Amino acid sequence: MSFLGKIRVTFEMIKFEHSVFALPFALTGAILAIREEGFARRDQLGGKLGWIIVAMVAARSAAMAFNRIADAAIDARNPRTRRRAIPAGLLSRAFTWGFVAVSSGVLVMAAARLNPLCLKLSPVALALVLLYSYTKRFTSLSHLLLGFCLGIAPAAAWIAIRGRLDPVILLLTAAVTLWTAGFDIIYSCQDYDFDRSERLYSIPARLGIGPALWVARLLHALMIGLLLWLSGSLGLGPLSVAGIGVVAALLAWEHRLVKPHDLSRVNAAFFTVNGLVSVLFFLFWTADVVYTAIPR
């Protein structure tokens, strides 16, 4: 296979299009930080946002490729995942390790272009997103660690703009953590039988599919509460509240799609609904920030 062919397969393997989950929340964190700065650095906006996008995509790409290496043996035994690129022999471990190394280097480079604190924290962020790959071997809380890996995105973008971490943005970190953990629990219901047979840890494997779906509902309800708290704390306007309403409606739809006895629509719930959640949330909150910034 040609080098470009291997890159194409790699992007398919890491589900590159799923970058849409965390990236809009990262950009929301950046927009909120710019608002807190009083729009004083509008001249730097394009460059900053560009490097934030590069850093986010590179971090996720490194994490997903590393995950495929770490889980290659498990994936080979799982009927749902045995056709992934490494167990199927489409990609070698060596090539995938090279992709992890390059992606990690791009993350560090992008962090260096943002500010010194981002550069100092980039190895910590990288270690965190790589560690996740091993957590399902020893804890059912792996869903929350995955959530935190995505949840740090808005906080990282805030730091990229402001050069420091302010406590208020941690509300968005917590909200994204709970949102991600909730939909990851739903997704992992597909592997209930396999995880139990392999003695892997997950909420569905520990509690059963029905109770696990209730845990996911609870996490998503708490997420909505945190978003309302954040909107009030920042003094945002009605568009931000409308965006939270849209998110709540989408999550309700997601939970209607998946039943304990019928997991046939898990993929629609996982990708379609959650992609809409992140993109529409970003659009509503950005519109709120822009609208309130227009002099009247």
DSSP secondary structure of the chain: --HHHHHHHHHHHTTGGGGGTTHHHHHHHHHHHHHHTTTTTGGGHHHHHHHHHHHHHHHHHHHHHHHHHHTHHHHHH-TTTTTSTTTTTSS-HHHHHHHHHHHHHHHHHHHHHH-HHHHHHHHHHHHHHHHHHHHTTT-TTHHHHHHHHHHHHHHHHHHHHHSS--GGGHHHHHHHHHHHHHHHHHHHGGGHHHHHHHT---HHHHH-HHHHHHHHHHHHHHHHHHHHHHHHHHT--HHHHHHHHHHHHHHHHHHHH-BTTB-TTHHIIIIIIHHHHHHHHHHHHHHHHHHHHS--
Q: Which residue has the higher pLDDT, 267 or 192?
A: 192
pLDDT at 238: 95
- Mean pLDDT confidence for 211-230: 98
Average pLDDT over every residue of 98-108: 97
Q: What local confidence, expressed as pLDDT, does residue 4 receive?
A: 81
Confidence of residue 295 (pLDDT cuts 50, 70, 90): low
pLDDT of residue 17: 76
Instruction: Answer whether residue 264 shows pLDDT above 90.
Output: no
Q: Give residue 296's pLDDT.
A: 47
Report whether pLDDT(106) > 90.
yes
The predicted-structure confidence for 187-216, as pLDDT tens digits, reads as follows 999 999 999 999 999 999 999 999 999 999
Q: What pLDDT, on the 0 to 100 scale, is given for residue 109?
A: 97
Residue 42: its pLDDT value, please? 57
Q: Is residue 94 over pLDDT 50? A: yes
| Position 242 pLDDT exceeds 70 | yes
154-185: pLDDT as tens digits: 999 999 999 999 999 999 999 999 999 999 99
Q: Residue ranges per domain, the chain?
A: 3-293
Architecture of domain 3-293: Orthogonal Bundle (1.10)
